[in-house]
A = this chain, B = another copy of it.
Amino acid sequence: MSAAVDPAVRRARAWLSRTVEPGSIAVWRFVERVGPVAAAEAVRAGAAPAEVQALAGARAGEDSSAEDLSRADRCGARLVVPEDAEWPTVPLHCLDLAAAGVGAVAGRKPDRTVALVPPLALWVRGSRALGDLVDRSVALVGSRASTAYGEHVAAELAHGLGERGWTTVSGGAFGIDAAAHRGALAAGAPTVVVLACGVDRAYPSAHSTLFARVLDDGLLVSEWPPGCAALRHRFLVRNRLIAALSRGTVVVEAAARSGAQATANRARDLGKEVMAVPGPVTSAMSVGCHELLRNTERGAVLVTSAAEVVEQVGRLGEDLAGPAERPATPRDSLSDVARRVLDACPVRAGAPPERLAAVAGCEVVDVLRVLPALELADLVEWTGTGWRVTRGAR
């Protein structure tokens, strides 16, 4: 499918992806207006709008795009561009809308690290088509300093999502991210790691084995070309992509005012579902989740299982979670009088109906009326001298 795309377009987008730090609205608008090839030529010639030229800075004079593309090819990666069939057009449409509206929204920070702007291109490693994989996907995010509880829940959710045919998207970091990817793998389901460095790099390096397993049936995705390091500000830029690619974001564990909360807020800004997993109120790692759940204006939905997550992000009438169940007891269906008579029945020696009426506070005829039903339900029994509660009903 990539064959249909003009190599010059792919080359231009590859060059732009290294020359201009991703996340800039000005650059995205310029590329949208003049096209990727003309945009790249203008920046290279120093003829782009001042704002765009400033972002390229000293990099405008360098060109390692051919090297980047062949380096990607050597590690089994490719550059997916909006002109490709596998581009996740529908999921990322929310970013188009957000970027189009940015100038209009008063008070929104122009900061590139929080701007909701579409990617110019995505470096993708793995054999699956990106668009297919993220069509039914959920982002599981959370703290790196997670607890055993949070990791357990993240793995369970991802496993359950995988069993239901949903892809888990996360950031490949320590803690909740890794637990989520592992849970998906345990279910034999694909998972997508959205990186803040080149897809040829394992960051953190301790996750090289995990990422190798992800590649069996999933994808590593990044806006940065091969070789790029995971600089701190890039995580902030990357986070919007996790929120945008998936149908909804679940915060599994997060400290107060944490990055996971920020990702959740961006998901909401993009019109995606935002969910949070509750935890012990005594755990600092659940404070961020509880903050999200307490915020009534920008409220997150409380989720406790994969079924509930799917109910939230799934299509109406297709994916509905059943309510938690408790077995009904015969007592549940009793009338008020029957319940009072049952309570009035002694445990050992039987009592006559007159006595039951006095204790239950009703007429003797009422007692005589409800006793047969209670006996049929095996709740009371006749001792020969009176009525008492059966062993099973105690």
Chain A contacts to B: CB under 8 angstroms: 19-21, 54-59, 62, 111-113, 149, 152-153, 231-234, 255-258, 277-282, 286-288, 290-291, 293-294, 296, 301-305, 308, 323-326, 335-336, 339-340, 342-344, 354, 357-358, 360-364, 366
The complex places the Cα of A139 from the Cα of B90 at a distance, in Å, of 49
Contact yes or no, B291 A324, CB < 8 A: yes
Contact across chains for A305 and B281 when beta carbons are under 8 A apart: yes
Q: Contact: B293 with A111, CB < 8 Å?
A: no
B54 touches A363 (CB 8 A): yes
Q: Mind listing 9 A-B residue pairs with CB under 8 Å?
A: A20-B361, A57-B362, A57-B363, A58-B362, A113-B336, A233-B336, A256-B326, A281-B304, A294-B302
In whole angstroms, what is the CA distance A58 to B355 when docked?
A: 9
Known contacts A57-B362, A280-B149, A281-B277; A112/B308 CB under 8 A: no
**Alpha-carbon separation in the docked complex, A197 to B106 (Å):** 62
| B contact residues around A325 at 8 Å (CB) | 256-257
A291: which B residues are within 8 A, CB to CB? Answer: 323-324
Q: Which of A111, A153, A286, A290 has the most CB of B within 10 A?
A: A290
Q: Give complex CA distance A279, B153 in Å.
A: 13
Q: How far in angstroms is the closest Cβ of chain B from A220?
A: 21
Distance in angstroms between the alpha carbons of A336 and B339 in the assembled complex:
69
A149 contacts which chain B residues (CB < 8 A)?
280, 282
Q: Do A361 and B255 touch (CB < 8 A)?
A: no
What residues of chain B lie closer than 8 Å to A304, measured between beta carbons? 281, 287, 290, 294
Chain B residues with Cβ below 8 Å from A57 are: 357-358, 360-364, 366
Q: In angstroms, how far is the closest chain B Cβ from the Cβ of A359?
A: 8
Give the CA-CA distance A249 to B336 in the complex, in Å: 25
A357 and B58 contact, Cβ closer than 8 Å, known pairs A111-B336, A339-B233, A343-B232 = yes
- Once the chains bind, are B59 and A339 in contact (CB under 8 Å)? no
A56, A153, A340 — most chain B CB neighbours (10 Å):
A340
Determine if B293 and A302 form an interchain contact, defined as CB atoms under 8 angstroms apart: yes
Instruction: For the complex, give the distance between the alpha carbons of A161 and B250 in Å.
Output: 32
Other than the known A153-B281, A278-B290, A279-B280, what 14 A-B pairs have Cβ atoms closer than 8 Å?
A: A20-B361, A57-B361, A57-B363, A59-B358, A232-B339, A233-B343, A234-B343, A257-B326, A278-B281, A279-B279, A280-B280, A288-B324, A290-B302, A294-B301
Interface centre among A19, A20, A293 (most CB of B within 10 A): A293
Are B358 and A58 in touch, CB under 8 angstroms?
yes
In the complex, what distance in Å separates the CA atom of A54 from the CA atom of B364?
Answer: 10
Q: How far is the CB of A226 from the nearest CB of chain B, in Å?
A: 16
Instruction: Judge whether B340 and A233 touch: CB under 8 Å.
Output: yes
Bound form: Cα–Cα A56–B149 in Å = 55
Q: Is the CB of B323 within 8 A of A58?
A: no
Once the chains are docked, how many angstroms separate the CA of A21 from the CA of B112?
Answer: 69
Residue of B at shortest CB range from A21?
A: B361
A282 to B363, CA, bound (A): 48
* Docked pose: A55 CA to B277 CA in angstroms: 48
- In order of increasing CB-CB distance, the 7 nearest A-B pairs are A278-B278, A256-B324, A281-B304, A231-B343, A257-B326, A21-B361, A57-B362
**Residue of B at shortest CB range from A288?**
B324
Known: A324-B287, A343-B231. Is A362-B55 also a contact (CB below 8 A)? yes
Selected contact of A340 from candidates B21, B152, B282, CB within 8 Å: B21
Q: A325 — nearest CB in chain B belongs to which residue? A: B256
Complex CA–CA separation, A366 to B344 (angstroms): 86
